[in-house]
Structure 1
Amino acid sequence: MSSSLFLGQIFIQILCLTIVLIYEIDATNSSFIPEPIHITLADLPEPYATASAAKDANIISVPANPTLYVPDGFTVKLYMSGLKMPRYLTYTPSGDILVSEPGMNRISCLIDNDGDGYPDELTTFADESNGLYLPYSMTFVNGYFYVGNRNITRRYQWATGSRQISGLGEIVATYEARGHWTRTIVASPNLDRIYIGIGSATNVDADPLPRGSVQVANIDGSNMVTFSHGLRNPIGLAFHPITKDLYVACQERDEIGDDLVPDFFTRIEQNDFYGWPFAYLSPNLTDPRRRLENGTSERPDLVAITRIPDVLFQAHSAVLDTKFYTGTQFPTNYHNGAFAALHGSWNRDIGTGYKIVFIPFDHMTNRPMGYYEDFVTGFLVKPSGPDTFATPVGLLVLKDGSLLFTDDGNNRIYQVQYNNNTIDTTTTKNSSARFTSVELFIIFNIFISLFY
Structure 2
Amino acid sequence: MDDRRSDYRRARHRAAQVLLLGTGALASCSPKRAEVTTPQPAPTDVILTGTDALGDWTTDAPGVKRKITVADLPPPNEDESVVNRSTKTDRPAGVFPKVPSGFTVNELATGLDEPRVVQVAPNGDIFVVESGADRVQVFRDADGDGKPEIRSTFVEDLKHPFGLAFYPTGTDAPTHVYIANTDSVVRFPYKPGDTKASGPAEPLVTNIPSGKETVGGGGHWTRDIEFSKDNQRMFVSVGSKSNVDDDEDEVRRACILAFTPDGKNETLYASGIRNPVGLAIEPSTGVLWTSVNERDELGDNLVPDYVTRVQEGGFYGWPWYYLGPNQDPRHEGKHPELKDKVIVPDVLIQSHSASLDLTFYTGQQFPAEYRGHIFAAQHGSWNRSRRTGYKVVRIPVENGKAAGYYEDFMTGFVAKNGDVWGRPVGVAVAKDGALLVTDDQSNTVWRVTYGE
* Aligned position for 1:425: none
For residues 186 and 129 of structure 2, the distance between their equivalents in structure 1, rounded to whole angstroms, comes to: 14
Q: CA deviation at 1:67?
A: 5.7
Matched, 1:172 2:205: yes
388, 393, 415: which one aligns with 1:381: 415
* Aligned position for 2:329: 288
* Aligned position for 1:250: 292
Instruction: Please give the secondary structure, in 1, of the residue aligned with 2:154.
Output: strand
* Aligned position for 1:372: 406
Contact 2:165 2:178 in 1 (8 A): yes
For residues 325 and 92 of structure 1, the distance between their equivalents in structure 2, rounded to whole angstroms, comes to: 15
Contact 2:107 2:146 in 1 (8 A): no
For residues 113 and 271 of structure 1, the distance between their equivalents in structure 2, rounded to whole angstroms, comes to: 43
388, 408, 425: which one aligns with 1:352: 388
Contact 1:357 1:373 in 2 (8 A): yes
Contact 1:55 1:386 in 2 (8 A): no
Contact 2:140 2:149 in 1 (8 A): yes
For residues 234 and 113 of structure 1, the distance between their equivalents in structure 2, rounded to whole angstroms, comes to: 34
Contact 2:62 2:411 in 1 (8 A): no
* Aligned position for 1:201: 241
* Aligned position for 1:138: 164
Contact 1:47 1:260 in 2 (8 A): yes
Matched, 1:52 2:93: no
User: 1:264-343 alignment to 2 at 5 Å?
Assistant: 264-283=306-325, 285-291=326-332, 296=333, 298-343=334-379
Point out the more displaced range, 397-406 or 60-69.
Answer: 60-69
230, 253, 256: which one aligns with 1:190: 230
Paired AA for residue 372 in structure 1: Y
* Aligned position for 1:401: 433
Paired AA for residue 196 in structure 1: V
The Cα offsets for residues 173-192 of structure 1, whole Å up to 9 and x where unpaired, read as: 42122211100000111212
Q: CA deviation at 1:209?
A: 3.5
CA 1:66/1:323 → structure 2, altered by over 3 Å: closer, same or farther? Answer: same
For residues 391 and 410 of structure 1, the distance between their equivalents in structure 2, rounded to whole angstroms, comes to: 8
Matched, 1:106 2:135: yes
TM-score, structure 2 length as denominator? 0.80
For residues 49 and 195 of structure 1, the distance between their equivalents in structure 2, rounded to whole angstroms, comes to: 34
* Aligned position for 2:119: 90
CA 1:33/1:107 → structure 2, altered by over 3 Å: closer, same or farther? Answer: closer
The Cα offsets for residues 175-224 of structure 1, whole Å up to 9 and x where unpaired, read as: 12221110000011121211111100111012543200111110001111
* Aligned position for 1:448: none
Give RMSD over aligned pairs. 1.8
For residues 185 and 337 of structure 1, the distance between their equivalents in structure 2, rounded to whole angstroms, comes to: 20
For residues 373 and 436 of structure 2, the distance between their equivalents in structure 1, rounded to whole angstroms, comes to: 16
305, 321, 328: which one aligns with 1:263: 305
For residues 94 and 174 of structure 1, the distance between their equivalents in structure 2, rounded to whole angstroms, comes to: 33
Instruction: Please give the secondary structure, in 1, of the residue aligned with 2:300.
Output: coil
For residues 175 and 92 of structure 1, the distance between their equivalents in structure 2, rounded to whole angstroms, comes to: 26
Paired AA for residue 141 in structure 1: Y
CA 1:57/1:190 → structure 2, altered by over 3 Å: closer, same or farther? Answer: same
Paired AA for residue 80 in structure 1: A
Contact 2:120 2:431 in 1 (8 A): no
Paired AA for residue 260 in structure 1: L
Instruction: Please give the secondary structure, in 2, of the residue aligned with 1:395.
Output: strand
For residues 323 and 70 of structure 2, the distance between their equivalents in structure 1, rounded to whole angstroms, comes to: 8
* Aligned position for 1:79: 108
Point out the more displaced range, 144-153 or 89-98.
Answer: 89-98
* Aligned position for 1:444: none
CA 1:181/1:33 → structure 2, altered by over 3 Å: closer, same or farther? Answer: closer
TM-score, structure 1 length as denominator? 0.80
CA 1:124/1:33 → structure 2, altered by over 3 Å: closer, same or farther? Answer: closer
253, 257, 265: which one aligns with 1:215: 257
The Cα offsets for residues 343-376 of structure 1, whole Å up to 9 and x where unpaired, read as: 00011111111001000113xx331000100001
Paired AA for residue 335 in structure 1: R
Q: CA deviation at 1:157?
A: 2.0
* Aligned position for 2:442: 410
Unaligned runs of 5+ in 2: 1-43, 45-60, 169-174, 211-217
Unaligned runs of 5+ in 1: 1-30, 423-452
69, 72, 90: which one aligns with 1:43: 72
* Aligned position for 2:191: 159
For residues 339 and 381 of structure 1, the distance between their equivalents in structure 2, rounded to whole angstroms, comes to: 23
* Aligned position for 1:70: 99
Contact 1:50 1:258 in 2 (8 A): no
Paired AA for residue 290 in structure 1: H
CA 1:401/1:217 → structure 2, altered by over 3 Å: closer, same or farther? Answer: same
Point out the more displaced range, 150-159 or 178-187.
Answer: 150-159
Give the count of matched residue pairs. 377
